[in-house]
Amino acid sequence: MAGAGWSQLVQQVLDTNLEYQLWSAGDRIVVAVSGGPDSVALLRVLAEISSTHTPLQLVCAHVHHGLRATESDQEAEFVRNLAFELGVPFEMIRLDVPAYRLETGKGSQEAARELRYAFLHEVAERYGAASIAMGHHGDDQAETVMLHLLRGSGLKGLGGIKYHRLQKNVKLIRPLLRMYKTALVAICKEQHFPYVTDSSNEQRKYRRNAIRLDVLPYLGQYNPQLPQTLNRLAELVQAEDDYMEEAAQDLYVRMVHSEHGRLTLEVPSFLGLHVALQRRLIKLILNYLPSDSENVDFHKIDVIRRGILQAHPTTWSLDLGTGLTCIREYDVVAFFVKKDTHPAGYQYEIPVITGDCTLRMDEIGRTLRISVIQGHEFPSPETASPYEAWFDANYLAFPLSIRTWIPGDRMKVMGLKGSKKVKDIFIDGKIPPSRRPLVPLLCDENGNILWIPGIRRSEHAVVKEASTTVIYMSLEETT
């Protein structure tokens, strides 16, 4: 007959599934079983639920770490027999953790963890499993929160272990997070469920063990309910972190633009956000950029944030490391992988124009469209957009050319006396330095700059009432 503790455990797991939707009827679940009381209780409770409540297809997966010789062999045999008793398929792998440590330079626990998860995902893929069930419990959660607190983690770290999360298209689930180790051990004894004990759990050289054996008991003098307190903190933080993440994702969709490998946002919109959302948005942008490492440390995020907030200077550049760069140019901030983003110098010749034609400039992703208009049937130049221009063909010195900007260029601007440096024209128009090489200059045979599309045109070849042949040009994005 099932004891009260066992019935409580079954109901607790059912309630957790109802709240977090850990599985659905018929799901195939890979259960990670080390042989300890937590994983033994997990496999047995899922088998009970499968037979009496919701049909599930379970697979028992065991990792032989090979670090404790005879003890590891005995654990593997124990788990194999447990799977046989429950009629559950059994999968096992023998890991060479020392060799992987030498290959990667990782610590023993980190190396073992990576190999363990790789095996569990391999089993899940082979069986077509929807999820991998882990035996983490409330004490594991308390240790994790304390470990992250000591490391100085943000909200996500203080949220600890999640009840479920997606990894490699498989859901990792923790049905026992609301149970504690003492209760699980008591239930195993109550039900006469045998289990094994891992002697390495008593070694203080591992930080997590030291937190469990020393730190939490010491702090427990001041709060006997410390594990429960840390677990409540984790649940609260997880919910609020999820909410903030959704809000940041919504802002990302509305405020961040992707163009030519750059992620950009406008400063005025950013300034109106709460500081918490400012940090979240920057973090999200950095996470969307390809990089060899994490780019989410608080210092880096806040350096960027303060740079966006400052009124002066309005142009700056930050090297974020790992090949990433952040620049501010007037009211636009851009994040991108650092590379030579400037197109090589280019120049196209436009011979005498006798009819309609098109010129593609692949270096800058633009197309120049040219038409010839006879007589006076043409729109007034005063109604033109900055990307349109009309020229009196009789006052154009052919061949024309269209080229990239060269430092020192000057232009006789329509409506102004004398000439003006093109660089100053760019500054007046708040054209960011990084965008200037993308702006083409239309010139005549004598080198006079006739038009800077999107910005200004010159006083040369202005269309008048007496003009009989007009050249019309428009610059468009190449499609």
pLDDT tens digits for range 207-249: 888 999 999 999 999 999 999 999 999 999 999 999 999 999 9
> Tokens 């468009």 correspond to what residue?
476
Q: State residue 3's pLDDT score.
A: 81
Q: What angle do CA 37, 38, 41 make, to 5 degrees?
A: 80
Instruction: Establish whether 34 is an annotated binding residue.
Output: yes
Is the CB of residue 142 less than 8 Å from the CB of residue 232? Answer: no
Q: State residue 96's pLDDT score.
A: 84
- Return the CATH superfamily for domain 347-477: Phenylalanyl-trna Synthetase, Chain B, domain 3 (3.50.40.10)
pLDDT cut 70: percent of the chain above it: 94
**Confidence tier at 21 by pLDDT (50, 70, 90):** very high
Q: What is the mean pLDDT of residues 305-328?
A: 85
Instruction: Tell me how crowded residue 445 is: count the other CB atoms within 10 A of its CB.
Output: 12
Structure-block tokens of residue 115: 């190999």
Residue 408 pLDDT > 80, yes or no?
yes
Q: State residue 339's pLDDT score.
A: 66
pLDDT tens digits for range 369-404: 999 988 665 555 555 688 999 999 999 999 999 998
pLDDT tens digits for range 110-129: 888 999 999 999 999 999 99
Instruction: Establish whether 351 is an annotated binding residue.
Output: no
Taking the CA of residue 394 as centre, how many other CA atoms within 13 Å lie in the half-sphere pointing to its CB? 8
**Confidence tier at 436 by pLDDT (50, 70, 90):** confident
Q: Taking the domains of the chain in order of start, what are their residue ranges? A: 4-237, 258-337, 347-477
Instruction: Establish whether 131 is an annotated binding residue.
Output: no
Averaged pLDDT score across all residues of the chain: 89
Cα–Cα dist 450/471, whole Å: 12
Cα–Cα dist 222/170, whole Å: 40
Instruction: Establish whether 39 is an annotated binding residue.
Output: yes
> Per CATH, the architecture of 258-337 is what?
2-Layer Sandwich (3.30)
Cα–Cα dist 181/186, whole Å: 8
Q: State residue 431's pLDDT score.
A: 84
Task: Answer left, alpha or beta for residue 152, where phi above 0 means left and psi between -120 and 50 means alpha.
Answer: left
Question: Strand pairing of 357-361 and 400-403?
Answer: unpaired
Q: State residue 18's pLDDT score.
A: 95
Instruction: Tell me how crowded residue 36 is: count the other CB atoms within 10 A of its CB.
Output: 20
pLDDT cut 90: percent of the chain above it: 59
Instruction: Establish whether 419 is an annotated binding residue.
Output: no
pLDDT tens digits for range 283-312: 999 988 876 545 567 888 998 999 999 888
Q: State residue 67's pLDDT score.
A: 66
CATH 3.40.50.620 for domain 4-237: yes
Q: State residue 406's pLDDT score.
A: 86
Q: What is the mean pLDDT of residues 71-91?
A: 94
Phi, psi of 432 (to 5 degrees): -60, 145
User: Amino acid letter at 157?
Assistant: G
Reduced to 3 states (helix: H, G, I; strand: E, B; else coil), residue 349 is: strand
pLDDT tens digits for range 191-208: 999 999 877 777 787 788
Instruction: Establish whether 37 is an annotated binding residue.
Output: yes
